[in-house]
């Protein structure tokens, strides 16, 4: 697709500091992606007010007024019935072909529910997942599911392995990504039954996956795997624990330095090194959870991010559109029937 | 109990570098606990050889020869049938009253299975849990279950809350510990059903717990709660993710410094501050996972720890014996019948 036709639909009212952060994020993303057009949905008065700060914006942004918005406390079952929210309309623009991807910093559960209802799950994929790239000491890896599915069957996990594999190939450029299931031990008997079953299904499937078995969470940072597959509950636990621990370690370090006069003297020397570390670990650069397994591209930005973080979510969405990500997944899963396979395997076991 | 009678039973053959690390760990622990006696179980030739390095050791150590040991790959179902292993005999010494606690760095699943079979679960507690203290920015908190129970019911979780509360009171000296259930969102509807049910049971139980609701993993490091309750799978995922992320962040920091000449120049100034950080975060100081909910004290040391780490596990065990931990739990749960309560609550819901 030529970038001249690339349109990203944006929920201007999603996130903690919308529409300010959203509008500023678009202005930033434009610098890296001068050919992309943006279709904004939100309260006309509020969004236009923010847009005044960037007079250039009008050239590549179209604003559609919406009178309502999804709030953080809204339940998915409610939001799917209200077609007038900025989130609903932004997603619907993808279904209608007005945009190739949608980005929102709003309520995750709502975004997934509406995306699923409007864009529909790809044939042969049972459940969409939330996916992101996380840093390890040698680079980055793909991790999914991060919270779309609190409970997952073996089939769901096997499907996530397929999707993650495609994403690692295309987004990270890894020829034969090492795919692993997250578990609490390396031994076959450890952990939950659905994980054991998923391993059997993947191994028996001739999927041509470079499946390396189980990975324990303390190994993720070592870079042992390129794709980490988990159910949405455990994946979310791991992701949030990473975030909290990184903050704890750097916070304790700051305190140690603050309490030492000697360290304060040495700090200017270390500044460039600490700055480079900060850049590597900056969570804003990993902003943009992709909803994968849908007939359309839906990207969730962290609700509390700033304009720099939001622009990364937009960059992310643009990259996936250019890689024709949705069609690639559709093509690759067309010939796979994991359901049939899993029945054979369950029959073997019991 | 006078410390003159305090005996700790030790599996001298457990862990990656046994019996060397175990024997040296005992020598170290003796310095802080001169009145404790140790009852060692292991291969006589190998253990005696190591003990020669510390001639003083004979005065407070008794060695019992065992011909067999539990290996890392042994299944719990096998090890509970072999009464001749160093692990089995070390645990059995607690049942026989020869020791008040047992410490092993061996196979976790085996240690839990044998401990459960020999020591039995405390009446009214359905399942024992693995518990440890973890650091946060203001101090430490209790976390359980860390891997004993891959799946947990609402009742199990509520019982862990009770046990964790007692541990935080006694081990951390907190008068009214803030107890939280680990979950992937603060809202009531988020996460797994058993967590919602556990919250209802705890709230309705008049347990006199300072229950503060759900905690998300990125909040743990902030010190929002004193007791973190999770099922064994999620708890283990969170614990191992903390370990891996702390290592990743410090590793990346080292690399940043190594690659900067300027930083190398400044490093001597920072040394005391970094050293103090290292001391705070040292995982060896948190070594010693306690098995709680049993009629006897069983402590698991990390299999790969060194003598310093192993001595901390022994210190930990001694501290719990002195606090009369097992009897305290027995007393506190005597008047609680969560089963009955949960039936009421389930009746309410459906």
Q: What is the pLDDT along chain B (350 residues), one digit of tens a residue?
A: 445 689 999 999 999 999 999 999 999 999 989 999 999 999 999 999 999 999 999 999 999 999 999 998 898 889 999 999 999 999 999 999 999 999 999 998 899 999 999 999 998 898 999 999 998 988 999 999 998 899 999 999 999 999 999 999 988 999 999 999 999 987 766 789 999 999 999 998 877 899 999 999 999 999 999 999 999 999 999 999 998 998 888 888 777 777 777 777 777 777 777 777 777 767 777 778 899 999 999 999 988 889 999 999 999 999 999 989 999 989 888 877 777 666 665 554 44
Return the half-sphere exposure (C-beta side, CA atoms, 13 A cut-off) of residue A292: 32
Contact (Cβ atoms closer than 8 angstroms) between residue B301 and residue B287: yes
For the ranges A166-180, A251-265, B285-299, the lowest mean pLDDT is seen at A251-265
Q: Do A277 and B241 touch (CB under 8 A)?
A: no
- Grade residue A21 by pLDDT with cuts at 50, 70 and 90: very high
Looking at CA atoms only, how far is residue B63 from chain A in angstroms? 32
B242 neighbourhood in chain A, CB within 8 Å: 241, 245
Q: What is the pLDDT of residue B347?
A: 54
Place of tokens 């065990």: B317
d(CA A348, CA A342): 10
Q: Do B233 and A236 touch (CB under 8 A)?
A: no
Q: What is the pLDDT of residue A1?
A: 46
A244 neighbourhood in chain B, CB within 8 Å: 217-222
Nearest CA in chain A to B76: A189
Q: What is the pLDDT of residue B140?
A: 92
State the average pLDDT for chain A.
89
Looking at CA atoms only, how far is residue A111 from chain B in angstroms? 15
Contact (Cβ atoms closer than 8 angstroms) between residue A101 and residue A320: yes
- Grade residue A282 by pLDDT with cuts at 50, 70 and 90: confident
- Grade residue A3 by pLDDT with cuts at 50, 70 and 90: low
B255 neighbourhood in chain A, CB within 8 Å: 137
Q: Do B277 and A266 touch (CB under 8 A)?
A: no
Q: Select from B240, B259, B274 the Cβ nearest to the Cβ of A216.
A: B240
Q: What is the pLDDT of residue A341?
A: 65
Interface test with B, best of A195, A256, A279 (most B CBs within 10 A): A256
Contact (Cβ atoms closer than 8 angstroms) between residue A280 and residue B252: yes
d(CA A261, CA A264): 5
A138 neighbourhood in chain B, CB within 8 Å: none
B276 neighbourhood in chain A, CB within 8 Å: 256, 259-260
Q: What is the pLDDT of residue B4?
A: 63
pTM, rounded to two decimals: 0.89
A256 neighbourhood in chain B, CB within 8 Å: 273-274, 276-277, 280
Q: What is the pLDDT of residue B256?
A: 75
d(CA B19, CA B15): 8
Nearest CA in chain A to B263: A270
Q: Select from A217, A251, A281 the Cβ nearest to the Cβ of B241.
A: A217
pLDDT reading at A348 higher than 60: no
B232 neighbourhood in chain A, CB within 8 Å: 184
Interface test with A, best of B221, B224, B247, B289 (most A CBs within 10 A): B221
Interface test with A, best of B186, B189, B228, B253 (most A CBs within 10 A): B253
Q: Select from A236, A241, A270 the Cβ nearest to the Cβ of B266.
A: A270
Going by C-alpha positions, the residue among A102, A112, A111, A133 that lies closest to residue A283 is A133
Q: What is the pLDDT of residue B1?
A: 46
pLDDT reading at A281 higher than 90: no
Q: Do B245 and A240 touch (CB under 8 A)?
A: no
- Output phi, psi for B157, to 5 deg: -65, -40
Averaging pLDDT over each range in A7-11, A158-162, B70-74, B335-339, which range is the top one?
A7-11
pLDDT reading at A302 higher than 70: yes
Contact (Cβ atoms closer than 8 angstroms) between residue B146 and residue B289: yes
Q: What is the pLDDT of residue B344?
A: 62
Structure tokens at A300: 């969730």
């Amino acid at each position: 697709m030529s970038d001249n036709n690339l349109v990203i639909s944006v929920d201007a009212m999603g996130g903690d500091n919308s529409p300010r952060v959203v509008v500023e994020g678009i202005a930033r993303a434009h610098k890296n992606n001068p050919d992309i057009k943006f279709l904004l949905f939100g309260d006309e008065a509020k969004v236009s007010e923010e847009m005044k700060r960037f007079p250039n914006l009008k050239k590549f942004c179209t604003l559609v007024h919406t009178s309502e918005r999804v709030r953080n406390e809204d339940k998915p079952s409610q939001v799917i019935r209200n077609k007038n929210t900025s989130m609903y309309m932004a997603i619907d623009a993808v279904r209608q072909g007005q945009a190739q991807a949608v980005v929102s910093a709003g309520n995750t559960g709502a975004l997934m529910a509406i995306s699923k209802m409007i864009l529909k799950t790809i044939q042969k994929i049972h459940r969409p997942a939330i996916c992101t790239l996380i840093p390890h000491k040698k680079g980055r890896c793909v991790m999914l599911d991060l919270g779309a599915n609190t409970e997952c069957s073996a089939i769901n996990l096997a499907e996530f392995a397929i999707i993650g594999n495609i994403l690692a190939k295309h987004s990270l450029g890894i020829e034969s990504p090492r795919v692993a299931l997250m578990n609490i031990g390396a031994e076959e008997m450890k952990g939950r039954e659905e994980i054991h079953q998923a391993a059997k299904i993947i191994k028996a499937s001739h999927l041509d996956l470079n499946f390396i078995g189980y990975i324990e969470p303390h190994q993720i940072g070592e870079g042992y795997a390129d794709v980490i597959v988990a159910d949405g509950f455990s994946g979310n636990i791991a992701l949030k624990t990473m975030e909290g621990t990184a903050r704890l370690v750097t916070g304790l370090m700051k305190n140690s330095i603050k309490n030492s006069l000697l360290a304060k003297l040495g700090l200017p020397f270390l500044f460039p090194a600490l700055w480079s570390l900060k850049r590597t670990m900056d969570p804003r650069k990993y902003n943009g959870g992709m909803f994968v397994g849908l007939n359309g591209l839906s990207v969730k930005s962290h609700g509390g991010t700033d304009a720099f973080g939001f622009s990364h979510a937009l960059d992310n969405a643009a990259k996936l559109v250019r890689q024709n990500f949705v069609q690639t997944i559709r093509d690759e899963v067309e010939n796979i029937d994991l359901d049939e396979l899993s029945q054979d395997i369950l029959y073997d076991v019991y």
